[in-house]
Amino acid sequence: MEAPEVPASLFVVGILLVFAAGIILFAVVLKSQNVIPVSRRRPDEVMTASGLTRLTDSAVGVINKRLKARSGFLVDREKLERAGLKTQPANFLLMMGAGAFVGSVVGFFLGGILVAILLLGAVPAGMMAYLSLLTSKRQSKFDEQLPDTLQMLTGSMRAGHSLLRAIDASAQESDAPMSEELSRIINETRIGRDLGESMIDVSKRTGSEDFSWISQAIEIHREVGGDLAEVLDHVGETIRDRNQITRQVKALSAEGKMSAAVLMGLPIVLFFALIFINPQYSKTFTTTVPGYLMLGAAGVMLTAGGFWLSRLIKPKY
């Protein structure tokens, strides 16, 4: 059972659709948010939106309405904030849809319907994995910055500054993501929100148990009083000891993680390399029913092996 030949007209239409999706992806979805609008540069000029802009704005509006009606969807504002992305969930979903469309069209012309289906699911899965990677990187960087930030806080309070002034000074001296989270705390307290609630939200957003300890220590100090700088010094010593143990565990488990990544990625990389190097060898897998069954069995086995390896290289301490 061989794949039918693709008409030339369908090929041309597919190429045009790929170019159109690329233009939408880079000119609308990935457009920089820091550009000064034309209305500010030329206030006297009457601006009219283009048809493409109106189309994308209406699409973003429809997606936003759907997301508001369904909380906890695939991508929401909280997930994007944890990853440090300053964009709307609708923009991210629109970019995901455009990428999936382009990937499926390219996969269809390169390897047939099976590769198109694989890329149709692989592009959104890859974007979600990239979002999770950004979230974990941001959380780990926040935890690494925490001991130095805590030391700046205690130093500022010993110099006579109040707690809010010390947090503001630490936000100015720190790098992202610490500076972003501390600045958010300051801005929320200036508009009337309780300091403890803002700090608890930061600990939830960053997934930092250490920052949760700091917020609890500050809340206890606000109730019973005492030397907050000394209390935070003891908390900082505990955090440094925990970070040292964490680094030791990461160093001991690094070899197992690398082995798991190689074992999981090698079959997939070789399969796609075989498709591009010599399509005749991979034709059995992409055009016949036994090939589909073998690919399905390989996917199930890789999934089971990946789950087993993830349990082996994730020690508890």
User: Taking residues 217-234, what's their average pLDDT?
Assistant: 85
Q: What are the phi and psi torsion angles at 51 (to 5°)? A: -65, -35
The yes-or-no verdict on residue 100 having pLDDT over 80 is yes
- Tokens (6 digits) for 221: 């100090």
3-state secondary structure of 243: helix
What CA dihedral angle connects 94, 98, 100 and 105, to 10 degrees? 160
| Tokens matching residue 269 | 């990389």
Span 218-235, average pLDDT: 85
Residue 2 pLDDT grade (very low, low, confident, very high; cuts 50, 70, 90): very low
**Averaged pLDDT for residues 160-177:** 88
pLDDT at 220 over 80: yes
> Tokens 């999981």 identify what position?
264
Average pLDDT (96-103) is: 83
What confidence score (pLDDT) does residue 246 get? 82
Q: Is the pLDDT confidence value at 137 over 80?
A: yes
The set of residues, in sequence order, having a beta carbon less than 8 Å from that of 95 and lying 6+ positions away, is: 25, 29, 30, 127
Average predicted confidence (pLDDT) for the chain:
78
Cα separation, 197 vs 199, whole angstroms = 5
Weakest-pLDDT range from 60-74, 143-157, 269-283: 60-74
pLDDT per position as a tens digit, 181-208: 999 999 999 998 888 899 999 998 888 8
pLDDT of residue 19: 62
Is the pLDDT confidence value at 37 over 80? no
Residue 48 has pLDDT above 80, yes or no: no
Contact criterion met (CB below 8 Å) for 310 and 260? yes
- Which residues, in sequence order, are CB contacts of 70 under 8 Å at separation 6+? none
The predicted model gives 258-273 an average pLDDT of: 85
* More reliable by pLDDT, 131 or 314: 131
Query: CA neighbours within 13 Å on the CB side: how many for 285?
Result: 18
Q: What is the percentage of the chain residues whose pLDDT exceeds 90? A: 6
Q: Does residue 242 or residue 38 have the better pLDDT?
A: 242
Largest Cα span, the chain: 81
- pLDDT (mean) for 163-188: 90
Q: Which two tokens stand for residue 304?
A: 């089971």
**pLDDT for residue 51:** 52
pLDDT at 59: 55
Q: Quick one: which of 161, 213, 167 has its CA closest to 186? A: 167
Does 62 score more than 70 pLDDT?
A: no
Pairwise CA distance, residues 89 & 101, whole Å:
18
Which one, of 98, 97, 92, 100, lies nearest residue 67 by Cα?
Answer: 92
Which stretches does DSSP call E strand in 42-198? Answer: none
